Amino acid sequence: MTNSMADHHPGNSVAEGNHEGDFGCSMVELRNLMELRSAEAVARLNDSYGSVQNVCKRLKTSPVEGLSGNPTDLEKRRQVFGQNFIPPKKAKTFLQLVWEALQDVTLIILEIAAIVSLGLSFYHPPGGDNELCGQSAGGVEDEGESQAGWIEGAAILFSVIIVVLVTAFNDWSKEKQFRGLQSRIEQEQKFTVIRKGQVIQIPVAEIVVGDIAQIKYGDLLPADGILIQGNDLKIDESSLTGESDQVKKSLEKDPMLLSGTHVMEGSGRMVVTAVGINSQTGIIFTLLGAGEGDEEKKVKKGKKTGAPENRNKAKTQDGVALEIQPLKSQEGVENEEKEKKKVKVPKKEKSVLQGKLTRLAVQIGKAGLIMSAITVIILVLYFVIDTFGVQRRPWLAECTPIYIQYFVKFFIIGVTVLVVAVPEGLPLAVTISLAYSVKKMMKDNNLVRHLDACETMGNATAICSDKTGTLTMNRMTVVQAYVGDTHYRQIPDPEAILPKVLDLIVNGVSINSAYTSKILPPEKEGGLPRQVGNKTECALLGFVLDLKQDYQAVRNEVPEEKLYKVYTFNSVRKSMSTVLKNSSGGFRMYSKGASEIILRKCTKILDKNGDPRVFKVKDRDEMVKKVIEPMACHGLRTICLAFRDFPADAEPDWDSESEILSDLTCIAVVGIEDPVRPEVPDAILKCQRAGITVRMVTGDNINTARAIATKCGILLPGEDFLCLEGKEFNRLIRNEKGEVEQEQLDKIWPKLRVLARSSPTDKHTLVKGIIDSTIGDQRQVVAVTGDGTNDGPALKKADVGFAMGIAGTDVAKEASDIILTDDNFTSIVKAVMWGRNVYDSISKFLQFQLTVNVVAVIVAFTGACITQDSPLKAVQMLWVNLIMDTFASLALATEPPCESLLLRKPYGRNKPLISRTMMKNILGHAVYQLAIIFTLLFAGERFFDIDSGRNAPLHSPPTEHYTIVFNTFVMMQLFNEINARKIHGERNVFESIYRNPIFCSVVLGTFAAQILIVEFGGKPFSCSGLTLSQWFWCIFIGVGELLWGQLICTVPTSHLKFLKEAGHGITKEEIPEEELPEDVDEIDHAEMELRRGQILWFRGLNRIQTQMDVVYTFQTGASSLQGALRRQPSIVSQHHDVKNVSSPTHVALSSVNSTPTTSAVAAAAASPPAGNQSGECVP
């Protein structure tokens, strides 16, 4: 197979000949080897290399000792085989973000208006001196305006530029934060390798070809490799193949381990053979990255360039490797184009809050549009009737340009009304609020991966939490033991235990536990010893140390290579067993696991003399009552240690697990304590006060779970709550066929507080059941915590998935929305607080913004209709718009959260953004402001004893009268901004105002700017300076807002039934039928973004495979139909994987409904050459 590296990545193209001398195999050979699967791979390995050991020899590494770790050697390996790093996609540049921000509709309208206005200000029509056209609408065009005409257009453009830059800057910093966060996650990802015989953890990026890596349950493999030694290894390769079945890996059957796949069970060691862009994941990424760029270029050029000579092997199910053309060929591009048209995946799913806001903004925009249209129509009609009707003037040709200028003037007044009406600060407020929260949440140990998760958390109504590590400290210690018919309430003295029993305990613990679990000396003097690896195993190792024994000596005697067979722990077995071969030829197996599970398999138990005696069912029941339940009721987790000897005469069948794991002899039962974190009970109490139900989902037994739940305060004495075991839970909710019945589930979940002995599937069922439930008036919003590989589905299904930063596996972090960097339940409560705070900040901003809008629109409208000129000039309006939008969103969106947020119930998904109380505040303040402004407008000159500004003659400078109107308006807004800090009708609006320096500085800054504008703004701002007493009056009227606010608080909202709420969420009924995907809840758009690339890639592979099969079939007759037949299910299963991710439009799965053979052939024969070329559906 010809494959020169240069096609793939020019950076690494070094002539291959040179490496033959250095290492016994070139990168290309290894990469080709890694593309094979199962039997074929084993055959190639044995033909070309002889064995895995020989591969290690050629790579100059030792399977036991690993690499030497010599820097020059490592560097050389990096040069020859590449480094373990896949370059990320390029970030958007600041200019691209600016361009995106400019796409906003209101901004576009503004830009057009500004450009028209600018153009007209430089255009002085002839005939301007004509008497006949003259004073038709006195006071519209004064000399100041004609000179400063361009200022208005320029000012509009300037404010647009500011809004755009602020938005783009926000996006940019958000993107930067996210990248920083990504790199932080990547740096924290370490992997265990062996170098110089030492087991060390190194950052994933430092792994090189030839490293010997240790792999265990829950790992995400960072590079490709070949298995050297494995125990019961099962891998989930769905991320590469789309096959959901777990693949068993063994030296004889399938030793190939691929990067990006997840270890679901077992442990082992592998030699790394390909890293970075040469690993299987890397190849796909390069194809995707290069593919996107190339396609764009090609589509632009439209040239029919052929495919680059880069052929990659398709992974086929039946082990037949086919040569395929990568997706970069022209035909591929055309297909992709067609598909891109079909698959219109929405770019980013709007969160609940954004959905509500968009609808609200549209409603406000429509109202503003109508108002501005009416304003323009009234002005035009008034002008026409007055000029041509009342004054009886003829329409003269030379006057046309002047009339047009009047009309444009009216149009600009109309646009100004629209500008003020449209709250373009809204999207800004959301962005600022979310970005600010995310940044601050980092300090509260919440690493937010998806922005909207932060705000969804504010609506959470239920939290399903793990027990270990989240509610408890995850520092396990053995505190009780039952050995030789004696129950020790604390750790027994080593003298008290017979030497042979002690020996069994020490061996059973030391050998039958992952060798990656160990206890290291404390980091600080006087600290606790550090537990590394599985915490339960660490507790048992600690028990061995407490018995004054040394587990490391035992492990040195029995290194991992000597272990004959290992049944690793998984969520189904709930136990772990290790088999050793004795010198006599017999076998001894040590087992440990959950006590009720292991004791069921025990037929003997060691008595006080250390001899086995028969252990009957009634003995077991008695032991459960006397030993295990008392331990569990103290909140201890009980673990049973057992062993079994097999005779030398016949080797048992190691694959029939049920027979091997029976007839055991119980050595001891230990009680392990995992103390509740001291801060948890308080945090749970806060959740309950906030209307959030906390449920505990754990794998522990029900008594332990109940004890811990009571200590935490999840179960309260005297309340009628349910504690169920997984089995019982399933019996209650499933019908005879084993399907989950929603009605049955709805009877259980409202009262369920503890689910014990639960499997990951139970967790997923519970979460899905609560989310899909229709009882109650609101849909439940569920948050879930998880750390294990198998928690992935539940984390994805939940509205917000929390992964554990310390104990969590890579798989769990990948599926989550927020990572808890300290694994602590209290951090979840912080997240709730921040989420609610985001919601409230937006509401505060809305309350303030809408008051300004209502007042400004009405003033501009009535003013224009009565005096032919808006009392607030366009530039003044834009200044108001700027403070009220941009600055206010900064001030109100960055309010820090306070504990009182946790004293109310969650808002729920379809609670309107603007409550009745807020509507009362908005309208109440609008009434005050309008009354003041109209009083000043029509009677202000008498009150202040100044000249009237109404109907001022032509060319008059800005009047004091209109300046006072403008100044008072702004002062009222400033003081109303303080009122807007409270939205639930609280009286003390100054409460903890000093905690928000941004708010204080914005208010003071605006005030200072207003002084400058009034005193020195002159013609551009249509202002003239005011005296001190006039300033005091303006400020006094502004302070009146605060007093008026107290008055509004006294009016009970319950009496104002006529007030409407606004800004509801979208209910399902309102979505047009065709937009509803089959399974509304399943669409996870963030995941869509992630997986769309992979899906296109798999789809391409699959399509080409089917094509090749069909062509081949026509050539050779029916002999290869088996291939097509065999591959059919894989396509189907992949579609089940993909269905949730793709866009709602599905085409029928033709190739599955009819018999696979005929349909695949028929579909291929029938389909046109460039279209979708296999019978599979295009999701």
Buried b (16+ CB within 10 A) or exposed e, 754-792: bbbbbbbebbbbbbbbbbbbeeeeebbbbbbbbbbbbbb
Q: CA–CA separation, 733 vs 792, rounded Å?
A: 22
Enclosing H/E stretch for 1108? helix 1085-1116
In degrees and rounded to multiples of 5, residue 1023 shows phi and psi of -120, 150
Cα dihedral 911→917→918→922 (10° resolution): 150
Q: Is 575 exposed, middle or buried, given 0-12, 13-18 or 19+ CB atoms closer than 10 A?
A: buried
| DSSP three-state, residue 122 | coil
- What span, in angstroms and rounded, lies between the C-alpha atoms of 603 and 613? 9
Query: Can you spell out the DSSP letters for 426-475?
Result: HHHHHHHHHHHHHHHHHHTTEEESSHHHHHHGGG--EEEE-STTTTB-S-
Q: Cα-atom radius of gyration of the chain, to the nearest Å?
A: 37
The DSSP element (H or E) to which 577 belongs, if any, is: strand 575-581
Q: Cα(746)–Cα(504) distance, rounded to whole angstroms?
A: 49
Say whether 466 is catalytic: yes
Helix (H/G/I), strand (E/B), else coil: 320:
coil
The runs of H, that is alpha helices, within 734-824 are 742-748, 760-772, 792-797, 810-815
Spatial contact of 521 and 565, defined as CB atoms under 8 Å apart: no
Collapsing DSSP to helix, strand or coil, 567 comes out as: strand
Give residue 474's region: left, alpha or beta (phi > 0; psi -120 to 50): left
CB distance 623 to 613 below 8 Å: no
CA distance 880 to 833: 32
312 DSSP β-pair partners:
324
Determine whether 936 is exposed, middle or buried from the number of CB atoms within 10 Å of its CB (0-12, 13-18, 19+).
buried
Distance CA 723, CA 632 (A): 14
CB atoms within 10 A of CB 229: 18
Contacts of 91 (CB under 8 A, 6+ apart): 175, 176, 179
Question: What's the start-to-end Cα distance of the chain, in Å?
Answer: 33
The answer to whether 1084 and 1140 are in contact (CB under 8 A) is yes
Q: How far apart are CA 151 and CA 1147, in angstroms?
A: 57
Please give the single-letter amino acid code of residue 668.
Answer: A
- Of 142, 171, 232, 466, which is the active-site residue? 466
DSSP collapsed to 3 states, 253-282 = CECEECCCCEEEEEEEEEEEEECHHHCHHH
CA distance 507 to 19: 47
Among 1013, 1033, 1032, CA closest to 1023? 1013
Residue 942, C-beta contacts closer than 8 angstroms, at least 6 positions apart: none
Please tell me the distance from the alpha carbon of residue 686 to that of residue 689, in angstroms, as a whole number. 5
Helices then strands, each counted (H, E), the chain:
42, 28
* Residues whose CB falls within 8 Å of the CB of residue 320, separated by 6 or more in sequence, listed in order: 1123
> Residues with catalytic annotation?
466
